[in-house]
Structure 1
């Protein structure tokens, strides 16, 4: 099969190669375990990883980790070469014993390296859910990671409450748009921090007020959008210099929820304690497997209710062909996209 693989470090247009490789099989996985960077050779005394499906991929999601991994700036090092791609929708063609009931079913799954989703056949792990009949392949491929990460950041870790004012960075991106919707669903007043009028309009369509961070004092703009008052929460999938600047708009006792690193990881100003600010980490990758499984099932149930009630929707804005992957990732890296971008792999 042909798959988009990364061999070197650099930008997507330079490092992504369409390689001819063998399809992953159950035999390949027998000698593999699971570590923070993904699939790893089995260590002595460690059982094989046993929560997987092999899926025929129809549509895969594209996201910033595809870019930061190939650049080498992803927080977790990933061994090369690897097939890129973090999530997909497809039909299960093989599975570990505990997942055999999914054979022949259409699922959305997280796919991690080296068996990523930018290939006709990929390996889904742990976070695997059947796609509702009324959800398209495209929406399914752009739903799982943004929605689950956003729910973890907004509800479980950020504890956003009705009546609070919340600033959201990167609000027009795939994760940011999910965060905006869940804050609105919680009854919060949302101020989307984005660059440019088009992205502001996109976020207003999700129920947020919006400001343009490309000019002027961003913290002052946030206060102005909140009737001159600071916000109680910042939900921040960007971090970098932008995240640090926004803390001037955070009220005493406020929470700064860190749930991504699109702007890079920078040291935090140690004076945050002077204002009784709380820095809240929000990532799903560090829990023990049993706890992570419980969290994802709880999250999926809550999100299913919001979907059914029309209070949340996937925000897929663009579907590209398999040969357009590097161009789409370049657009994503240069902040020219909104919502979620997906790629049709087959079918």
Structure 2
């Protein structure tokens, strides 16, 4: 087998394509031939030791895979060789083969391509948990998405529309704005990459102008940094500000604003929720498959990379220049 390994803390340039012995499934495990691996922002952090999880080196990044079951370990029931499964792996997905706990594997529909399956659970799972479980988003409400052209942001656009919300997509370029309109956003705002106080005031004014006099009911903040405060200032009474991620840095928010606006700041830690509420997660996954079957959601894959070019995909993601999702196809050359 081959794997793209992190051998020392650092950027994508530190990863090494390595040939390893083929693994065998242990008790309770499945051996998977990885057909596709989704690329997500945590992959850019875990190789720098900046993520919550710090696996021992060497390890392969790649926390989301889809593939074919090749072999079954002792004690595993409900799976057979040839089954098509997807799984959240935490790491290890940038490889041709991988062993996973059978309990983490999810069979997916035959009409779903491996590439879609590998880009499905992380982004849609995060955004559906955020909007359904944390924000309690209601039809007719207005939602602002920061970083709307990225993986979780574009998933939030589709899910917000499927749930009946009015969606304002905030992005950093006209190309990203056009992409967001294409996948369903009602309105778009292009904000500058550098946000000083004057730019913050202007951004807040743009949000309020589009949201109307009542303000924004839900903010989906997948950016952080200086972009968060203008969004918080645009909140409606009883609004919900979702804390999803911080690629622009952890923001410093004035806590008088939630008091004055009667709004909530709500954390979204989907990975922890999966383990704390497995039944709720299973229900959400079933509902997401239904939305996919109805063509209300579909991963927006903008590029595919073979395993030996996976570092290039991570560089693009770290530069925040990606529209939708990137996918690694380990069997490609």
**Per-residue deviation, 1:318:** 1.1
Q: Distance in 1 between the 2:231 and 2:39 partners?
A: 27
Could you report, residue by residue, the CA deviation over 1:252-306 in whole angstroms, capped at 9, with x for unpaired residues? Answer: 32111112233333454332442222111122222474x4431221011111221
CA gap of 1:284–1:98, structure 2 versus 1, over 3 A, is farther
Q: Which residue in the other structure is 1:68 paired with?
A: 45
Q: Which residue in the other structure is 1:243 paired with?
A: 228
Q: Distance in 1 between the 2:48 and 2:61 partners?
A: 12
Q: Which residue in the other structure is 1:22 paired with?
A: 21
Q: Which residue in the other structure is 1:121 paired with?
A: 97
Contact 2:25–2:99 under 8 Å retained in 1: no
Q: Which residue in the other structure is 2:321 paired with?
A: 336
Q: Which residue in the other structure is 2:7 paired with?
A: 7
Moved more, 299-308 or 189-198: 299-308
Is 1:199 aligned to residue 170 of structure 2?
no
Q: Distance in 2 between the 1:84 and 1:174 partners?
A: 17
**Per-residue deviation, 1:205:** 1.1
Number of positions where the alignment pairs a residue of Structure 1 with one of Structure 2: 321
Moved more, 295-304 or 72-81: 72-81
**1:54-65 correspondence to structure 2 within 5 Å:** 54-65=31-42
**1:223-262 correspondence to structure 2 within 5 Å:** 223-227=208-212, 229-262=214-247
**Per-residue deviation, 1:228:** 5.2
Q: Which residue in the other structure is 1:211 paired with?
A: 189
Could you report, residue by residue, the CA deviation over 1:310-339 in whole angstroms, capped at 9, with x for unpaired residues? Answer: 211111121112221111111111012110
**Per-residue deviation, 1:143:** 1.1
> Unaligned stretches of 5+ in structure 1?
31-49
CA gap of 1:105–1:288, structure 2 versus 1, over 3 A, is closer
CA gap of 1:255–1:288, structure 2 versus 1, over 3 A, is closer
What is the DSSP-based 3-state SS (H/G/I as helix, E as strand, rest coil) of the residue aligned with 1:71? coil
Q: Which residue in the other structure is 2:196 paired with?
A: none
Match among 248, 252, 266 for residue 280 of structure 1: 266
CA gap of 1:64–1:288, structure 2 versus 1, over 3 A, is closer
Q: Distance in 1 between the 2:278 and 2:174 partners?
A: 40
CA RMSD of aligned residues (A): 2.0
Could you report, residue by residue, the CA deviation over 1:206-249 in whole angstroms, capped at 9, with x for unpaired residues? Answer: 21111101174222111122235420110122223222331111
Match among 154, 157, 169 for residue 177 of structure 1: 154
Contact 2:2–2:17 under 8 Å retained in 1: yes
> Unaligned stretches of 5+ in structure 2?
194-198
Contact 2:228–2:251 under 8 Å retained in 1: no
Match among 260, 282, 287 for residue 297 of structure 1: 282
Moved more, 102-111 or 268-277: 268-277
**Per-residue deviation, 1:21:** 2.2
Q: Which residue in the other structure is 2:58 paired with?
A: 81
Contact 1:53–1:99 under 8 Å retained in 2: no
**Per-residue deviation, 1:58:** 1.0
CA gap of 1:154–1:99, structure 2 versus 1, over 3 A, is farther
Contact 1:110–1:124 under 8 Å retained in 2: no
Match among 272, 287, 293 for residue 308 of structure 1: 293
CA gap of 1:256–1:95, structure 2 versus 1, over 3 A, is farther
What is the DSSP-based 3-state SS (H/G/I as helix, E as strand, rest coil) of the residue aligned with 2:228? helix
What is the DSSP-based 3-state SS (H/G/I as helix, E as strand, rest coil) of the residue aligned with 2:37? strand
Contact 2:171–2:188 under 8 Å retained in 1: yes
